[in-house]
C-alpha cells in the first residue's frame, strides 16, 4: 500500500485508517482462508467485519497526538499501523465484553456470540460461555488480539522512535484486562466501594481509551517527557470522565444512541461509581427504603421496566445523577487545562480537545470556561486527577 502524506490524512483520518485496515484485514483473511475455510468464514471474516465498524476514537486520538507533538512524514505510516492495531484490540475487548455480560446487541446489531448461535441454531442459553456462540466468540476475540499484536509489531519496524513503545503497548493490554477483571470481581463480590469503582474506571476505560492512545501517538513522534506527562494527565481526566458519562448513559441514556437496551447496566448489577454514589446518598438521607430497592432491583435479571424507572427516579431525586454529571464537567475542564498548557501544534491540539470532550458529550467551549478554576496546574501529582472524581460524597 502506498504511504499516505500526513497532511492528506489530516483531512480525513478515519478514511485513511480505513484504507490501512482494509489492507491489513484482507491480508489476514487470505491467510485464514489458506489455513481453513470454515474458520475463515465464521471467525476471521466476523473479526474483520466487526473491526470495520466503530467510531475510531482511540485511533484518531493516537493520530492527532502524533501530529500535535510535531510528528510528520516519517511517522505517518507507523502511526496509521499502530492505530489499526488499537482498533483490533478494541474488537477483542468488545467481543469478549459482550460474552461476559451476556449482552444481546452491539452497535444496534446482534452481538458476535448471538450471531454465531443463530447461524447454527444454538440459541437459548442464558449463559453465553456455556454455549457454542460464546465459546466461538472468545476465539474471535483472541484472534483479534493476535492480529493486533502482529500489526503493532509491523508498526515498530516503520518508526525510528520504537524505544518505549513496546512497554506502552504491553501496559495498555494488561491494564485493560485488569480493569475488566475488577469489573467482574466487583459484580461477583457485590462491592459497594466508590474507590474500587473509580479504580476500575481508570484501568478499564481511562487508560485504555485515552491515556495509552495519546501516549502511543506522542512516543511514535519521539516526544519528550514534558508533553508526554501533560498528555497523560489530559487522557486520565478525560478517560475517567468518559467512563462516568458512559455509566450515566447506561442508566439514563436513549437506546437509539447507546446501542444497548435501556437499563441494561442496572439489570446486570454493574458496580459503577454512579451506583456507589446513589447508595452513599441514601445512607446520608437515612433512606432505608431506597437502599432496599437498590439492593433488590439492581443486579436482578427479573427487574421490570417499572422497577428500573423507580431506580432512575431515586438516583435523579437524591442527586446522584447531578453529582456524577458535575464530576464529568470538572474532569473535562482539567483535561482541557492540561492540553492548553502544553506546547502542542495548534490545529492538532484542537482536534485532540474535540475528540476527548466529544466522548463525554461536552464541547471545548463548555470545558474551557471551567478550565482555569478546575485544573490543578502543572506539577500536581496525577492522583489528583483521580481524586477529583471522589469529591463531594463521603
CA atoms within 13 A on the CB side of 307: 17
Q: Return the sign of the alpha-carbon dihedral for residues 368, 371, 377, 382.
A: negative
Candidate CATH numbers 1.10.600.10, 1.10.390.10, 3.40.50.1390, 3.40.50.2000; the one for domain 1-160:
1.10.600.10
Q: Would 1-160 and 162-394 be classified into the same CATH topology?
A: yes
Distances (CA, A) of 158 to 1, 69, 76, 77, 152: 14, 18, 9, 7, 10
What span, in angstroms and rounded, lies between the C-alpha atoms of 195 and 112?
A: 33
pTM equals: 0.88
pLDDT score, position 149: 97
Q: What are phi and psi of 109, to 5 degrees?
A: -120, 165
The residue ranges of the chain whose pLDDT is under 70 are 1-2, 124-130, 259, 369, 371-394
The full DSSP string for 193-240 is -HHHHHHHHIIIIIIIIIIHHHHHHHHHTT--HHHHHHHHHHHHHHHH
Domain ranges, ordered by start, for the chain = 1-160, 162-394
Q: What's the mean pLDDT when you consider all of the chain?
A: 89
Q: Is 63 in contact with 9 (CB distance < 8 Å)?
A: yes
The full DSSP string for 258-273 is HSS-TTHHHHHT---H
CATH placement of domain 162-394: 1.10.600.10
Q: Is 48 in contact with 25 (CB distance < 8 Å)?
A: yes
What span, in angstroms and rounded, lies between the C-alpha atoms of 200 and 273?
A: 9
pLDDT score, position 268: 82
What span, in angstroms and rounded, lies between the C-alpha atoms of 222 and 120?
A: 49
pLDDT digits over 129-179, tens only?
A: 668 999 999 999 999 999 999 999 999 998 888 888 999 999 999 999 999
pLDDT score, position 372: 52
Exposure string over 58-81, b if 16+ CB within 10 A, otherwise e = bbbbbbbbbbbbbbeebbbbbbbb
Amino acid at each position: 500500500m502506498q504511504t499516505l502524506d500526513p497532511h492528506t490524512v489530516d483531512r480525513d483520518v478515519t478514511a485513511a485508517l480505513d484504507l490501512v485496515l482494509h489492507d491489513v484485514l484482507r491480508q489476514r483473511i487470505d491467510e485464514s482462508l489458506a489455513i481453513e475455510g470454515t474458520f475463515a468464514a465464521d471467525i476471521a471474516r466476523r473479526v474483520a467485519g466487526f473491526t470495520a465498524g466503530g467510531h475510531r476514537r482511540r485511533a484518531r486520538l493516537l493520530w492527532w497526538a502524533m501530529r500535535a507533538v510535531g510528528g510528520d512524514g516519517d511517522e505517518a505510516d507507523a502511526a496509521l499501523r499502530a492505530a489499526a492495531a488499537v482498533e483490533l484490540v478494541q474488537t477483542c475487548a468488545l467481543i469478549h465484553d459482550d460474552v461476559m455480560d451476556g449482552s444481546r446487541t452491539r452497535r444496534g446489531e446482534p452481538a458476535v456470540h448471538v450471531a454465531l448461535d443463530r447461524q447454527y441454531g444454538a440459541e437459548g442459553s442464558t449463559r453465553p460461555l456455556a454455549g457454542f456462540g460464546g465459546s466461538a466468540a472468545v476465539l474471535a476475540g483472541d484472534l483479534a488480539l493476535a492480529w493486533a499484536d502482529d500489526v503493532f509489531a509491523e508498526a515498530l519496524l516503520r518508526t525510528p522512535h520504537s524505544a518505549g513503545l513496546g512497554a506502552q503497548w504491553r501496559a495498555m493490554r494488561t491494564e485493560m484486562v485488569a480493569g475488566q477483571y475488577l469489573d467482574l470481581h466487583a459484580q461477583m463480590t457485590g462491592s459497594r466501594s466508590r474507590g474500587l469503582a473509580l479504580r476500575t474506571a481508570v484501568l478499564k476505560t481511562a487508560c485504555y481509551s485515552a491515556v495509552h492512545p495519546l501516549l502511543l501517538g506522542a512516543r511514535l513522534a519521539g516526544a519528550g517527557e514534558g508533553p508526554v506527562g501533560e498528555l497523560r494527565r489530559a487522557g486520565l481526566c478525560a478517560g475517567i470522565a468518559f467512563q462516568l458519562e458512559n455509566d450515566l448513559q447506561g442508566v439514563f441514556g436513549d437506546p437509539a444512541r447507546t446501542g444497548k437496551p435501556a437499563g441494561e447496566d442496572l439489570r446486570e448489577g454493574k458496580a459503577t461509581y454512579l451506583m456507589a454514589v446513589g447508595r452513599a446518598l441514601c445512607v446520608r438521607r437515612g433512606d432505608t427504603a431506597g437502599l432496599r430497592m437498590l439492593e433488590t432491583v439492581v443486579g436482578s435479571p427479573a427487574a421490570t421496566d417499572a422497577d428500573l424507572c423507580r431506580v432512575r427516579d431515586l438516583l435523579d431525586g437524591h442527586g446522584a445523577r447531578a453529582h456524577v454529571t458535575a464530576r464529568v464537567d470538572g474532569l473535562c475542564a482539567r483535561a482541557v487545562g492540561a492540553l492548553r498548557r502544553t506546547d502542542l501544534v495548534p490545529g492538532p491540539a484542537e482536534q485532540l480537545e474535540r475528540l476527548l470532550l466529544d466522548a463525554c458529550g461536552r464541547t471545548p467551549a463548555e470545558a474551557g470556561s471551567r478550565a482555569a478554576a478546575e485544573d490543578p496546574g502543572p506539577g500536581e501529582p496525577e492522583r489528583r486527577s483521580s481524586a477529583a472524581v471522589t469529591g463531594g460524597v463521603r
